[in-house]
């Protein structure tokens, strides 16, 4: 799902996947009291339960210490708008999202012609990663119920979902550029959730086969997001590379992403405050503000 300095002047910005992040193409300045920063995204952006409620509707579970707020505090733009919302998909960039407590307008409504910076963290809900968790849990360490079901008959259902999501993300990026032609745009990838190796069953009750399958699928989604950023004039924040070694199986004082039973303020299988701060550092580095 996350590095060059002086990246604001970069034109040939794309670098190797998972070794560095792609810098956003040059555009209007943002920071030091100038510019307008708009944050779009899902729950990995809104960061439910990591801080105090920020903005409305309350059902978006948007925290005041998520990575957009941390980035905005460093940049100090003239205007900052965070419309990220838990549960958002690419469809909610252009359509209203109903939540348990209020409706979030189409997120792209916040992107205006005077916007100078946009961060976009989206795609995981299109693929359906979080929704898989109950089906993947198992009492048998060596089993792989999700992989077996999703690859039955030799066809990988998650791969299909990722390909469809990639196309949708590209369309969203085109819309952003149309609405805000002066803006730098950064696609923010997903941080490392699962470790290398067999995982940490039964603390995280995923069989070894599913740990590998889901870890690789998230890597493929990040690859797809990086490719879409490259082909749609956007930068890519590789938070997975930065977050390696901070997955759900690491210690409570190290992890960026909480497990099924969080040990710090965060939603299950979502970034905690440390993870949001780490994701913010990757974005800041792309902007030369670290």
- What's the pTM value of the predicted model, to 2 decimals? 0.90
* Tens of pLDDT, residues 113-165: 999 999 999 999 999 998 887 889 999 999 999 999 999 999 999 999 999 99
User: Running DSSP on this structure, what letter comes out for residue 53?
Assistant: B
Q: Determine the pLDDT at residue 37.
A: 98
* Tens of pLDDT, residues 203-233: 999 999 999 999 999 999 999 999 999 999 9
Q: Which residues are catalytic?
A: 43, 270
* Tens of pLDDT, residues 69-100: 999 999 999 999 999 999 999 999 999 999 99
Q: Determine the pLDDT at residue 135.
A: 85
Q: Kindly state the helix (H) or strand (E) to which residue 85 belongs, with its residue range.
A: none
Are 124 and 130 a contacting pair, CB within 8 Å?
A: yes
Q: Determine the pLDDT at residue 182.
A: 95
- The Cα–Cα gap between 60 and 85 comes to 4
Q: Determine the pLDDT at residue 26.
A: 63
What stretches of 18-156 show up as alpha helix (H) in DSSP? 43-46, 67-75, 124-127, 129-136, 145-150
Domain 7-286 in this protein, CATH class: alpha beta
Q: Determine the pLDDT at residue 23.
A: 64
């Amino acid at each position: 799902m996350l590095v060059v300095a002086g990246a604001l002047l970069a034109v040939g910005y794309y670098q190797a996947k998972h070794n560095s992040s792609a810098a956003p193409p040059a555009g209007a300045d943002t920071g030091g009291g100038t510019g307008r920063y708009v944050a779009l995204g899902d729950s990995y952006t809104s960061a439910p339960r990591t801080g105090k409620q920020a903005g409305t509707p309350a059902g978006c579970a948007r925290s005041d210490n998520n990575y957009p707020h941390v980035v905005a505090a460093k940049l100090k733009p003239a205007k900052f708008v965070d419309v990220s919302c838990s549960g958002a998909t690419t469809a909610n960039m252009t359509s209203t999202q109903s939540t348990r407590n209020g409706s979030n307008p189409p997120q792209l409504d916040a992107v205006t012609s005077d916007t100078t910076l946009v961060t976009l963290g989206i795609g995981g809900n299109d693929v359906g990663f979080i929704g898989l968790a109950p089906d993947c849990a198992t009492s048998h360490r060596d089993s792989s119920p999700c992989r077996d079901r999703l690859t039955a008959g030799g066809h990988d259902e998650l791969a299909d979902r990722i390909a469809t999501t990639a196309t949708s993300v590209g369309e969203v990026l085109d819309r952003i550029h149309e609405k805000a032609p002066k803006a730098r745009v950064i696609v923010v990838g997903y941080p490392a959730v699962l470790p290398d190796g067999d995982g940490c069953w039964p603390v995280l009750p995923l069989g070894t086969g599913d740990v590998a399958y889901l870890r690789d699928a998230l890597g493929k989604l990040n690859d797809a997001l990086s490719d879409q950023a490259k082909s749609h004039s956007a930068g890519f924040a590789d938070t997975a590379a930065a977050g390696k070694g901070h997955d759900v199986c690491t210690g409570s004082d190290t992890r960026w992403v909480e497990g099924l039973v969080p040990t710090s303020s965060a939603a299950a299988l979502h970034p905690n405050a440390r993870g949001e701060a780490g994701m913010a550092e990757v974005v800041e580095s792309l902007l030369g503000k670290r």
